[in-house]
Homo-oligomer: A and B are copies of this chain.
Amino acid sequence: MGKQNRSLHLNLFLASLGHHEAAWRHPASDVNGIYDFRYLERLAQKAEQAKLDSLFLADRYSTSQKAVKYGAVGGLEPLTLLSALAVVTKHIGLIATVSTSFNEPYNIARRFASLDHLSGGRAGWNIITSGTDSEAQNFNLDQIPAHHLRYERAKEFVEVALKLWDSWEEDALIKDKASGIYANNSKVHEPNHRGKHFSVRGPLNLSRSPQGRPLLVQAGSSADGKDFAAEYAEAIFTAQQTIEDARAFYADVKARIAQLGRIPEHVKILPGICPIIGESEAEAKEKEAQLHELTHPAYSLLQLSNRIGFDLSVYPLDGRLPELPATEQIAGHQSRTQLIRDLADREKLTIRELLLRLAGGRGHLTIAGTAKQVADELEQWFVSGAADGFNIMPQLTYGGLDDFLDQVVPELQRRGLFRTEYTGTKLRDHYDLPYPSNQYAASLEHPST
């Protein structure tokens, strides 16, 4: 285990039937699970029994009439589902994706504070800027705004949210029935934010939540994304195809964090991993092949074209990927597009082969093998500076999630790499992260109520 005395962190990236785009077609899947709360509840409770740090829901603000033919239908809106899961779980963290491009900070600060209250301090926010024209077209725009403009708005959005979460000091509530004084209003602040994108007076209309604010998570790995993460994130989801790339990303981001005067250990880096477990490596590969056989190239192509903002339908499936626009000219998802191009180049993949490589996890690394092999790989990444933990993305939920929780997690626990009991009740406790201070609290003042 080397020099570290640290534990790794595990987040379940919940996709109702699985991350593979054909998971719904698998014989084991019950396709009605997408909207079946009792099924989703069982998944969350199972992850909690395995002592995972958190579960996480991605989000997208559109679907396409073409793509739904093959299954691109979204599930329940993330904060809606997590609000329901909050009251049927006790420990596991609940991380929702919300876009800063198509929302207002007052509403979002309030919803996360509400989820944090409701869950007793288990809310997390995966901050995204969204990256497709099809989403922009649902919000009064023709095209997705330029990459740097989205991040500019995102920064101001988060600054406003931080002010709103801090607008109530922790000891602002007095609740003295005798005098009728509910709050010490010298500890309730009006941010009076006036910026380029937002003007927000405040204060927030509910009191400070158990964690002070949700855990801040970020997932973009572009230059803009890394800068943003270094400044605000407490956990980072990332897609890395090789341990070398993951180490380089890890070192780069931790250096950016230190450069900003933050403590690198206070930001956990969690690459996404799609585990496929078999009794043997051959059986695991067979499971993957079985899912691949269920894909529709036409669907895979629509998904990829939408993701990279470039129509690939006119290119031959058995030819190579055409020249894509330079990364800095991409308005949408820069880092994922670059990862996809690098992957195709490095492995000299045809479009058809590339589609299969992306079908299971959209660019996240698949590890198909025995439970021991998967644990070995996770351990190697963890101890060699490639990861602080992992964003677990089962390609198939039915069976596949159980395989990971029942076989790989106990193996990691036996190796002393993962907790066997929760030691705290809040999401920040699980991730060994400090509680945020309040920008409006007078630092020398001692609380008096």
Tell me if A140 counts as interface (CB < 8 A to partner B): yes
In this complex, what residue of B is CB-closest to A136? Answer: B201
Candidates B80, B181, B203; contact of A111 at CB < 8 Å: B80
Is A416 part of the binding interface, using a Cβ–Cβ cutoff of 8 Å? no
Contacts of A9 in B (CB 8 A): none
Q: Which residue of B lies closest to A206 (CB)?
A: B74
User: Which residues of chain B come closer than 8 Å to A84, judged between CB atoms?
Assistant: 83-84, 86-87, 118
User: Which B residues lie within 8 Å of A115 (CB)?
Assistant: 80
> A73 at interface (Cβ–Cβ under 8 A)?
yes
Contacting A180 at CB < 8 Å: which of B63, B118, B139, B296?
A: B296
**Which of B180, B294, B299 is A25 in contact with, Cβ under 8 Å?**
B180
Check B107–A103 contact: CB distance below 8 A. yes
**A117 at interface by CB-CB < 8 Å:** yes
A88 to chain B, nearest CB (A): 7
Q: List A residues 22-78 near B (Cβ within 8 Å).
A: 22, 24-27, 29, 31-32, 35, 37, 41, 60-63, 65-66, 68-77
Q: How large is the interface on A (under 10, 10 to 19, 20 to 34, 35 or more residues)?
A: 35 or more
Judged by a CB distance under 8 angstroms, whether A207 is at the interface is: yes
Known: A114-B81, A117-B76, A185-B66. A87 touches B37 (CB 8 A): yes
Whether the Cβ atoms of B106 and A203 lie closer than 8 Å is no
Partner of A83, one of B41, B83, B117, B199: B83
Known: A80-B118, A84-B87. A138 touches B200 (CB 8 A): yes
A387 to chain B, nearest CB (A): 31
Report the bound CA distance from A115 to B76 in whole Å. Answer: 8
Chain A contact residues, CB within 8 Å of chain B: 22, 24-27, 29, 31-32, 35, 37, 41, 60-63, 65-66, 68-77, 79-81, 83-84, 86-88, 102-104, 106-107, 110-111, 114-115, 117-118, 134, 137-141, 172-173, 175, 177, 180-185, 188-190, 198-207, 294, 296, 299
Q: Which 6 A-B pairs have the closest CB atoms?
A: A71-B182, A83-B83, A74-B205, A137-B201, A63-B205, A80-B114
